[in-house]
Structure 1
């Protein structure tokens, strides 16, 4: 184990790498790469994070796994070339046994004439398909030999000096499902001591390669978002089998090894396919175990030899690669990709509020439209879960402690921004002047989320609060001023759109409402029971709605049907829970997944008496085919018609009767369910939002 940990960037390794870099500098003093190489030397010398003492690995011993998963119809063929180093191979296989995968896979170990008893030991491990090379073929030959017998639609080439972690295979496979034209996906690689080894590779215009993020913290948000890269390491590389075969496999000119992974990536891109770095697949890699660390001795010397071959083969493509003078932070960015910065009050969490879900789906569409996306929350905070969720959408998150304040970030990157979206009036007010100064060519978009002043006006009218009415006037002046100062503004409701069209005829206002997947209906009428309300107490209209529901509506329902259960879902303080507790009321608080209630309850309730915007709780229920009883306020701006795709009621007695009627009448329930699904498909789908974004950002 100590030997493993010592390999993670120790002084011997770093001296050998610096020796290589210095030779390139002083061997090419007139080359344009001089400055860039000096920058990379500085990266090697600067202070790096210390080892992660919590990092756990399989010990390097000769204990064989009891077996590895094996499918007769694998979706993925995991191909592991080996040449000796049995203890590493066994540790790798034990990690595969421990973590497995949801997708069916097979493990092919290609023994490349190992000098030890690796083949004999591995032949006794259940689940392993062992292929023995008659002669030593090297890494390139062994990978190609394994590919010839692979049965999966995808191949995952995995070094034997690696150990896999949870999600290692499934997350790579997700890239081929979720990313258009994905041809190759590669993992985030970490040293055995826990530090980052690689977050995708860079190839400069002179053919020099560099691995991004070396020795940094492996969980730094800078390295936790999917992105297109020049290449990914062959230590953990998944490729579609049809693409691999069309390319002709790893090019044998690079035998025995080195540059073959770069070449495969360039060939994939030449075929019109993308190469994607997937940080959610984390692999531990003991770099240098197979070929040593000295770039001037042993198999490692082929790095320099094969680079010459690579440059010759791809000399035309290299003219489109980054200049050697560029630091890595700039070189990783794809040329031509438009860049948008999004700032909201908090990092989006779809389990917290509908605004979060809308923003996440907007980001998903921007990613599909090939925008590069950077996000920052006003408080500069984001949890690991939130960073991972956005990273899956290709979104880089700026947050403490790894990122500077927005003013500093804009000083470095503002000139390159094509658009900035500021969400909510108080965020826009704080940052719009700064954005204008430091991102002068960016289109500034004010996303109202909902009109704050309209919600305050209605709350004041509902409660008779004079102070709130005065606040609504101030908010109105503020929001209208922001719209005048922005290049475009977004609203979620057609009611708000028409209001602003009259108020600000000179402003560009676009309707970009909630965005939902259409889940269709699961679970029939007979198998469902009960009512559900979704809404957290962080939103004042929800507080009023819950109290009205519990104190006036639900007692009327219980008088007629005492067996009906009401489910309350959303953030709620303990004191509020205690005050709202009633027979037949189940308070669940905030949940990560609404699906059990969307598929198990019979009616969704939206008893909102004031507010603004479009109600995500209504969209969400309808997208699952769950019929809704709502107030006219809750249905505002949603193209809903009483008795056709919703039941509407403004008074407690009428609301209770509508809920009972929908709960008991199967024919009505089915009709409202079908019409609700169609409403979401027609007005709140991804395609509708995509057209708006394309028009807005053209």
Structure 2
């Protein structure tokens, strides 16, 4: 991988004079991983360039996980627009698509700052975001988690409601601040987390297990709109369940304390009841088969109703919930067990 520097970073005279003794040129770097969403990225970068932090003291590092001309152009345009008066802007293409964990590693390693701020390419940072995050780390903390605001409509879809759970996360890389030295000591993010799932919890747990301190920075705010999703998107999301096994293998106690204290018993019951019904039918036990299939129908219906309880009730959404509720338990368990095999851990 290599880095390209645009616009604002070319006016480096004053910044070179301000370089610290350890070779750092800035106080803090904002690392933004991205993947072929130039319009969203442009909105994100505009907010980052408008921070109330001293513009000569921070840089923006965009890590392109799947480099394309449109993304590079969006970064270059911002760099040219803020040249001489805004923050330094850098473009770091990641040669092979590896996921957000690898992209963030490329970003903080390319940064020239002792403090690293992480956000996503579809967020909009409050103007005071960077100042508040840097202040949180100034207390001596190793890392800080900011506040994520996810606006929802009055009648959200199941996907929107589920995605809004990010706003309640203890530590999410959509809004996090970490000392570069701590990242270097731990080796950064575990790049086996190839999807945007649990790589931030893994970093959080690694900091805690190393004796580090993580604080909350409620004044460091980013708005994270829920993006539109295709019909049935919850099915493809089940693939992320394999990374639950990886996180559990690395941090079993913290996983049970902070993520999930028990296996998804409802899913296992749904899967077991259907398999039992089919097996009984093949064995010619009509009564047992009927009872098991009736139980499967009841459990699946209850799961569907639970998903609809606080979400939209239009015909299309109800149909989506009915269809996906029949498949989610099977897909989720499949990917959990596949992850357990892949990462060689007993994980149900």
Residue of 222, 225, 233 corresponding to 1:294? 233
Q: How does 1:318-467 map to 2 (within 5 A)?
A: 318=255, 320-321=257-258, 324=261
Stretches of structure 1 lacking an aligned partner (at least 5 in a row): 1-65, 196-208, 215-229, 326-698
Secondary structure of the corresponding residue to residue 142 of structure 2: strand
Residue of 151, 156, 165 corresponding to 2:112? 151
Name the CA shift for 1:289/1:132 in 2 (closer, same or farther; >3 Å).
farther
Secondary structure of the corresponding residue to residue 121 of structure 1: helix
Asked whether 1:184 is paired with 2:143, we answer yes
Residue of 69, 78, 96 corresponding to 1:125? 78
Provide, for residues 15-56 of structure 1, a one-character-per-residue CA deviation record: whole Å limited to 9, x for no partner: xxxxxxxxxxxxxxxxxxxxxxxxxxxxxxxxxxxxxxxxxx
Q: How does 1:480-495 map to 2 (within 5 A)?
A: none
- C-alpha deviation, 1:146, in angstroms: 1.0
Secondary structure of the corresponding residue to residue 252 of structure 1: coil
Asked whether 1:307 is paired with 2:307, we answer no
Name the CA shift for 1:316/1:105 in 2 (closer, same or farther; >3 Å).
same
Q: Indicate the RMSD between aligned Cα atoms, in angstroms.
A: 3.3
Q: What TM-score, normalized to structure 1?
A: 0.30
- C-alpha deviation, 1:283, in angstroms: 0.4
Partner of 2:176: 237
Name the CA shift for 1:94/1:308 in 2 (closer, same or farther; >3 Å).
same
Secondary structure of the corresponding residue to residue 123 of structure 1: helix
Paired residues of 2:63 and 2:93 also in contact (CA < 8 A): yes
Q: How does 1:110-121 map to 2 (within 5 A)?
A: 110-114=63-67, 117-121=70-74
Partner of 1:278: 217
Secondary structure of the corresponding residue to residue 62 of structure 2: strand
Of Structure 1 and Structure 2, the greater helix share is in 2
Paired residues of 1:188 and 1:282 also in contact (CA < 8 A): yes
Distance 1:294 1:95 in 2: 29
Provide, for residues 643-693 of structure 1, a one-character-per-residue CA deviation record: whole Å limited to 9, x for no partner: xxxxxxxxxxxxxxxxxxxxxxxxxxxxxxxxxxxxxxxxxxxxxxxxxxx
Paired residues of 2:52 and 2:131 also in contact (CA < 8 A): no
Distance 1:289 1:75 in 2: 36
Name the CA shift for 1:158/1:320 in 2 (closer, same or farther; >3 Å).
closer
- C-alpha deviation, 1:97, in angstroms: 2.3
Paired residues of 1:84 and 1:116 also in contact (CA < 8 A): no
Structure with the bigger RCO (C-alpha within 8 Å, sep 6+) is 2
Name the CA shift for 1:192/1:281 in 2 (closer, same or farther; >3 Å).
same
Asked whether 1:267 is paired with 2:206, we answer yes
Partner of 1:137: 98
Name the CA shift for 1:139/1:212 in 2 (closer, same or farther; >3 Å).
closer
Secondary structure of the corresponding residue to residue 36 of structure 2: coil
Partner of 1:75: 27
- C-alpha deviation, 1:147, in angstroms: 1.5
Distance 2:206 2:232 in 1: 27
Partner of 1:95: 47
Name the CA shift for 1:252/1:293 in 2 (closer, same or farther; >3 Å).
farther
Provide, for residues 150-207 of structure 1, a one-character-per-residue CA deviation record: whole Å limited to 9, x for no partner: 11101111101011113101111111223x5x22112111125699xxxxxxxxxxxx
Distance 2:142 2:239 in 1: 26
Paired residues of 1:258 and 1:302 also in contact (CA < 8 A): no
Name the CA shift for 1:143/1:301 in 2 (closer, same or farther; >3 Å).
farther
Name the CA shift for 1:279/1:184 in 2 (closer, same or farther; >3 Å).
same
Partner of 2:186: 247
Q: Could you say which structure has the larger radius of gyration?
A: 1
Partner of 1:613: none
Residue of 61, 83, 87 corresponding to 1:108? 61
Name the CA shift for 1:316/1:191 in 2 (closer, same or farther; >3 Å).
closer
Ranges of 4+ aligned residues in structure 1 off by more than 6 Å: 66-70, 289-293
Name the CA shift for 1:289/1:308 in 2 (closer, same or farther; >3 Å).
farther
- C-alpha deviation, 1:248, in angstroms: 0.8
Paired residues of 2:195 and 2:240 also in contact (CA < 8 A): no
Name the CA shift for 1:321/1:125 in 2 (closer, same or farther; >3 Å).
closer
